[in-house]
Structures are given as C-alpha cells and as structure tokens.
Amino acid sequence: MKLSVRLILSGTLLLALALTFAACSGGTQPEATPVAEVTEAPVVEATEAPAEPAVPVLEIVSETESKSLTMEELKALPVTEGYAGIKSSTGKITPPVMMKGVALKDIAELIGGMDETKGFNVVAEDGYSITYSYDQLQNGAFISYDTATGEELKNPVELTAIIAYEADGKPFDARQDGTLRLAIVSKEMKQVTDGHWAVKWVNKLEVKNLGADWVVLVEGALSKPTDRASVESCGAPQCHGTSWFDDKNQQWAGVPLYYFVGSVDDEISHEGPAFNRDLVKVGYTIDVISADGYTVTFDAERVQYNKNIMVAYKVNDNALPVEYFPLRLVGDDLEKKEMVGMIEQIKVGLEPLPATAEAAATEAPAATEAPAAEPVTGSFFITGLVDQQMGFMEADLRALEVLKINAEHPKNGPQDFEGVSLNALLDMAGVKDGAKTLFVTSADGYTTEVALSDVRACADCLLGFTNTAEQFKLVMPKLPSNTWAKDVVSIEVK
C-alpha cells in the first residue's frame, strides 16, 4: 500500500520557498553587498571507533593445526538442519525440535578431513567431553528411539551429528545451553537419540586417534550391552570418572567397577540408588572375563563403592594398546594378576529378572505376602536413605510453597530464581540418621555430590523451575558451581 503525505503551506511560507529556489536558479539576481571572505575551517572527518574484534565461538584442534571460528564464520559453512530430541539414561524423552547448524563431517573438512582411525572429541566449557567416531561423523551411526514409547526403532532414520547454533529459529539461551551445542538431527520428528550425545556449552573439537568401536556385555539381574560411548560418557570427570597412576607414572582413566555392577544388579540401572547395597549383604560374586577366557572373580563386598578397582578405557589420554584393548581392570586395590585386560564380559552372579509380565506373574509372591509398594512416578525423584521415596511432577511442586529469591550465580552473576525449598522436600521424604551426602543426577547423565550438612545450612537452596515444563535445576547460593546442576531428575540421599 502506498502512502501519500499532503503538506499544506501558508502563503507566507510559499513565498519564502519561491524566493529561496529563485536564488538557487540561473536567473538574474540583484547585486549583493560585498562581504569580507571568511576562510572556513577545514572539515575534520570524524574517525569511527575501531570495531570490536569478532569473538571465536569454536576451536578446532588437530595434531598439526588449530583453527578458531567466529559465529559469522561458522554460519558461512554449509548448513544442516533437522529435528533433534533425546532419551535420557533414566528413560525420560525430550521431544524433537528443529535444530540448525553445521555437520561435524563438514567441519572435519576444514582440517583436511578424517579417516576411519580418527574421530572428534567434543568438549564443553565445563570440561565435559565425549568422542564421536568416524562412522558416527560420516554415516550417523547412532541408536534412535521412538518418541512415544522410548523403544529402539526397528527401521532407523537417517541421522547427522551437527554443531547447532539455533533451535526453533532462535539462538540458544547462552546461560542455559551455551552458544553452541551438539545435536543429532533427522528430517523426521519420530526419533530421539541417547542423551549423552547432546553436549551443551560446546566450545572445542579435538581430533582424536581412535581404536575400533566396541561393546562389552554386562550381565546380572539385567543384561546390558555397553558400548564405548556409554563408558566414555560415564567416565567424564563431572560424571563417575576416576584415574590411577601406575608405577611407570602412566595415567589410566575409567569408571569404578561398582558402577558397571549397579547398572545390572536390579531394575534401577542408573537413576536413584543404582548400586543395591541390600544385595551385597545377601552375597554374590562378580566375574571380569577377558577375550581369551581369563577370569578374575570378586566378592560383591570387596567391590562395593570401591573407587580403587576401576575399569579403564584409556591410558595417557589415548585408547588402550592392543594387548589391553578395549578395557582393562586397574587400581591400587588390585594385585598384578587381577589386572585383567581385553575385557569382553562382566558377569554379576545374580538371578535374571523376569523378562515379561507373564514370567513375573508366575513368580508372584503368595497371596499371604504383603503387596508390593506402588511404583514411584514423576519428573523428579528423591531416593536413598529416606523414610519414603518420593516422585514429583511440576504440578505437585507448584502446589507447595513456591519461593522467589535473588541469588548470585557463580558464573552468571545475580539472577532471580523461583522454586521449592530443597530442605522442605528432604523433610517430606524424611532423611534417615547417618545420611551425609546428596547424589544428584541430571537427565544427560551428569552427576554431582553435595554434603547434606551444606544443604541443611542453606535456607535458600531450591529445586528451581525453568522455562521448560517438567525440567528443574538446583539453585545453590554460596555453594560451588558444580552443585548448580541443570535438568535434575533425581537426588539420592546417601
């Protein structure tokens, strides 16, 4: 639509304008009174302040070179977009949203490409990292799950790993997700992938030499094939990772053996009290079996919460050498003959749980026995040394007393927060005598521990609400930044 503007001018103004235009025309002008010439001062052009240099958002490091990309440079690369969602280790589904960014395989071309022996170690600002293999970069070799049921898709969709800089057409919330994040995208909305691949706060890609991908079978009450990515994610320093120096000062990194046991000793494979202490009292053994059949056997009591018996997946920050690959048992509490390598299977001596509802029915307790407790449900759980394990949906939490505070975030400064008192929730669950620690688990597998005494002394510590429904965070004023966990799904009292 064109807009017209009408100017209504007075006669006096029209006359003045006419005289002005006449003065500018080539017509005969009346003689002007001579005036002294005025030398004008030279015009000094304003000098613009130099532009702020663009800030790099992503560093790419190989054995021979290092490159840094600004956001503008990253966006100038070929664009890949699609739908990405995650299935957490606790089974929680975060539905797919449209993500936009640059495929890892396209970024690899900036440093001359890769072959089957290499991969990208994706590093976050807080130091968390996980490695993506050549097959995952080039072919999207990830497991995908149905968004409705959480079951593995029988007909997998095409997947691509990208460094994403937008979700639903908008930049990420820098405080919540960082500037960049890793996403596994598809053209279809029906899939999600494992949450440990969805790294937030990404700021570096490191080219790594990799051995072949592998799977170790961990068997007990459950049977759980465990792959390299799962162990690597669990072995991050912010998760359950630990390290050990041998007599040659070589640093071995891995995960304590009891975490493998806890993943298969009962139906709780990760969240809450994954390692079942009650079963240790009954007694069972754990066999660690090499590819050549060599077996080392442990009593459960010896392994229980023992961080000095660990399953190592790398040494001096590299994959294990062929004589130990893919995993080796190491640690101060082992004799040399117990340091089995080339681990192929970990067998926990417990009876398998019924695989189907029919099997469970055949082993149901007699009618005279007390009925089983109702399962606890919710988006957030409190478990462990409590009188009553509790589950909460967001509506349950908002029905309690909601607090609003302003607190100093360790990284982001003063902010307003809204949530429910953490101590009030612990009081509802009833913390038992002897409890000392809160073990916090996030949906992406991140874990942290905080002393119960520190929380009890913190009146403003909250289970905070976020802008996403059924997603919570810890607000921990005056406590270390690692306790400010995001996307919290459970707290185990220990």
What's the pLDDT tens digit per position in 241-263? 889 999 999 999 999 999 999 88
Residue 225 lies in a domain: yes
Q: Is residue 154 a part of any domain in this protein?
A: yes
Both 326 and 392 in one domain: the answer is: no
If DSSP codes are grouped into helix, strand and coil, which group holds residue 445?
Answer: coil
> Is 375 inside a domain boundary?
no
As a whole number of angstroms, the distance between CA 480 and CA 457 comes to 14
- 37-45, long-range: CB < 8 A, 24+ apart: none
Please check whether residues 175 and 251 belong to one and the same domain: no
Shared-domain flag, residues 455 and 404: yes
CA 229 to chain CA centroid, Å, is 13
On whether both 419 and 477 belong to a single domain, the answer is yes
Please report the sign of the dihedral spanned by the C-alpha atoms of residue 436, residue 458, residue 424, residue 87.
Answer: negative
* Locus of tokens 């403003």: 460
Q: What is the CA radius of gyration of the chain?
A: 31
Which residue in this structure is represented by tokens 């992938």? 193
In a domain, 177, yes or no: yes
Query: By the 8 A CB rule, do 127 and 238 touch?
Result: yes
Token reading at 80: 């890949």
Q: Are residues 256 and 398 in the same domain?
A: no
Within-domain flag for 3: no
Number of folded domains that form the chain = 3
State both tokens at 32.
Answer: 């002007």
Give residues with Cβ within 8 angstroms of 248, minimum separation 6.
none
DSSP letter string over 260-276?
HHHTTSSS-SSSSS-S-
Does some domain include residue 1? no
Domain's final residue, options 209, 242, 269: 209
Cα gap 100→168, rounded to integer Å = 8
Q: Are 202 and 61 in the same domain?
A: yes
Of 164, 182, 209, the domain-final residue: 209
Distance (Å, whole) CA 139 – CA 133:
10
pLDDT above 90 coverage of the chain, percent: 45
Domain identity same for 180 and 251: no
- Within this chain, do residues 157 and 258 fall inside the same structural domain, yes or no? no
Residue-level pLDDT at 421: 95
Running along the chain, 494 residues long, what does each successive block of 10 average in pLDDT? 35 37 38 44 53 82 90 96 87 90 95 85 84 88 89 88 95 88 94 88 88 83 85 74 91 93 80 73 93 93 92 89 92 95 94 56 38 58 88 86 92 92 93 92 83 94 91 94 91 92
Residue 327: what residue type?
A: L
Q: How many of the other CB atoms lie within 10 Å of CB of 54?
A: 12
Residue recorded with tokens 């996980």: 130
pLDDT score recorded for residue 90: 66
- Amino acid present at 234: C
Asked if 475 contacts 405 with a C-beta cutoff of 8 angstroms, the reply is yes
Q: What is the pTM of this model?
A: 0.51
Q: Is the domain of 196 the same as that of 80? A: yes
CA 158, distance to chain mean position in Å, is 22
Do both 196 and 220 map to the same domain?
Answer: no
Q: Which helix (H) or strand (E) holds 427?
A: helix 422-429
> CATH number, domain at 444?
3.90.420.10
Q: Domain for residue 68, yes or no?
A: yes
Q: Please identify, among 175, 209, 243, the residue that sits at the C-terminal boundary of a domain.
A: 209
**Quick check: 379 and 397 in contact, CB under 8 A?**
no
pLDDT recorded at residue 487: 87
The answer to whether residues 94 and 204 belong to one domain is: yes
Distance CA 462, CA 425 (A): 9
The size of the chain, in residues, is 494
Is the torsion defined by CA of 377, 380, 383, 386 positive or negative? negative
* Alpha carbons 341 and 252: distance in angstroms, whole number: 13
Q: What is the pLDDT of residue 49?
A: 53
The answer to whether residue 36 sits within a structural domain is no
The reported pLDDT for the residue numbered 405 is 95
Residue 337's domain spans which residues?
215-348
Instruction: Specify the pLDDT at position 5.
Output: 33
Element (DSSP H or E) covering residue 244: strand 242-245
Q: 472-475 and 462-465 as β-strands: parallel, antiparallel, unpaired?
A: antiparallel
Do 167 and 290 lie in one domain? The reply is no
